[in-house]
Structure 1
């Protein structure tokens, strides 16, 4: 399975927004400049997060993006689903219908052992992502790299001056 780079960008953007004072909005241009990303493409990812209710956006000179929910209420799966969509990674096309002994009356998505194995793997992956919140990720980064929150706030402060 390969996720788009937009997932990485969205996760890092959400994490950076979690370190800012509550209600502080950051423009897509400033968020993109933080990692030297293309602003237009990052903006598309941020808009997807807004549509999913994970970010809120405000317009105007002090506008931008901010978390719409507390970090404890945002899972990694929420972000991945907002960017990639809710579809399963493996899509059974039921090719067994065309194979020897295949039957048009059988739902091979349910009967095929390959389909079942792939569905179990997808569910395990989704459970893992759903079980980890942005707050937990934020806390883990703060333990391992204690300077990161201050450096992030400082970098955005420089951009705002």
Structure 2
């Protein structure tokens, strides 16, 4: 399964908003600047996450994005689904029913390849559903103890 960079961007936004905390809204431009991303394109990903209930947005002075739920309640699968959609990674088009193979009667049973691919898809979805943004934050904090405070400071102080 290949996920686009939009998933990486969205996860980093959740990660950073988790460290900033629920009391501070961060603009899309500010989130984009932190990783050198195009703000307009990142804003589209943030809007997709808002529609999925992962982040919430507020308008006006002091407006921006914040997590809509605690980091413990946001799974990696929630973010992937918000950005990439709910469709399975593999879609069987039943090519076994075409050409000479179509006459051999194999289509009376489930496609062996489709079954294997669905099993793999389910495994990675379960793995992502079993990990939360809070899990990532904890791993990061254990590896880089000073960084969460630095991230929060960067987002909550004015920069020229």
Q: Shorter-chain TM-score: what band?
A: over 0.9
- Structure-2 residue corresponding to 1:9: 9
Structure 1's 14 and 107: CA in aligned 2 closer, same or farther, altered over 3 A?
farther
Give yes or no for contact 1:26–1:64 (8 Å, CA) kept in 2.
yes
C-alpha displacement at 1:107, in angstroms?
6.0
TM-score normalized with structure 1 length: 0.92
C-alpha displacement at 1:20, in angstroms?
1.2
- Structure-1 residue corresponding to 2:153: 154
Q: Which has the higher contact order (CA 8 A, sep 6+)?
A: 2
- Structure-2 residue corresponding to 1:87: 87
Give yes or no for contact 1:30–1:159 (8 Å, CA) kept in 2.
no
Equivalent position SS for 2:49: helix
- Structure-1 residue corresponding to 2:124: 125
C-alpha displacement at 1:61, in angstroms?
1.5
- Number of residues paired by the alignment? 159
- Structure-2 residue corresponding to 1:99: 99
Q: Which string of whole-angstrom CA distances, capped at 9 and with x for unpartnered residues, describes residues 48-101 of structure 1?
A: 000000000000021000000011110000000000000000000111111324
CA distance in 1, matches of 2:23, 2:48: 19
- Structure-2 residue corresponding to 1:62: 62
List gaps (5 residues or longer) in structure 1.
none
List gaps (5 residues or longer) in structure 2.
none
Give yes or no for contact 2:24–2:156 (8 Å, CA) kept in 1.
no
